[in-house]
Amino acid sequence: MQRLSKAVQAPRNIFVRYTASGAWGMTNDCQTTNVMMTKLKKTNSKLIAPCGINCRLCRAHIRNIKACPGCRDDIFKSKSCVACLIKNCEKLINGCFKYCFSCDELPCAQISHLEKRYTSKYGVSVLHNLKEIQTNGIRSFVRNENKKWICSNCGEIICMHKEQCISCGHAWRE
């Protein structure tokens, strides 16, 4: 078999899975009409948004077509990034700080809204993430994220927006 590229054409219900080592395999057990390739790169500090969200775990980053490179990318700007009030905060744009925990207005209305939404829908607390980054540093936070967001069934990185692992379908969220 040849190694597949990003622009892969596969029959319906074929699942292409890339592993951290770069290997790949195809199965027909995924119930989807599109080919889904997981980008199983580990999180790095460039994928941690100013608000504390790990962009690596976002469904927009994982998708194949027009994948979002993360909030800190200055070349590609997704619609949600262009409209994001946090990313477009004047203090962030002016370089006053890199993460929202440095802002004297924390929690602002935008962070409060994001906190409420992500805590209730996905079990992710941006305020907790920001506190962890502030207290332990970004490297420690990234290391913990790389351990925390691993599927207990297949060992691949999971998406915070999905209740099942996108690699094996294992239900990870209660």
Q: What is the pLDDT of residue 112?
A: 94
Q: What is the pLDDT of residue 70?
A: 84
H/E stretch holding 80:
helix 79-83
Greater model confidence, 74 or 10: 74
Looking up tokens 């976002």 gives 58
For the chain, domain boundaries = 38-148
HSE, CB side, 13 Å, CA atoms: give it for residue 100.
27
Helices (H) and strands (E) in the chain, counts: 6, 2
Could you tell me what percent of the chain has a pLDDT over 90? 29
Confidence of residue 124 (pLDDT cuts 50, 70, 90): very high
Taking only the tens place, the pLDDT of each residue in 25-79 is 433 333 332 334 444 567 888 889 999 999 888 888 888 788 888 888 767 666 6
pLDDT over 60 at 5, yes or no: no
Q: What is the pLDDT of residue 121?
A: 92
| Average confidence (pLDDT) over 8-23 | 39
- Is residue 156 a contact partner of residue 141, using CB atoms and an 8 Å limit? no
pLDDT over 90 at 94, yes or no: no
Greater model confidence, 7 or 53: 53
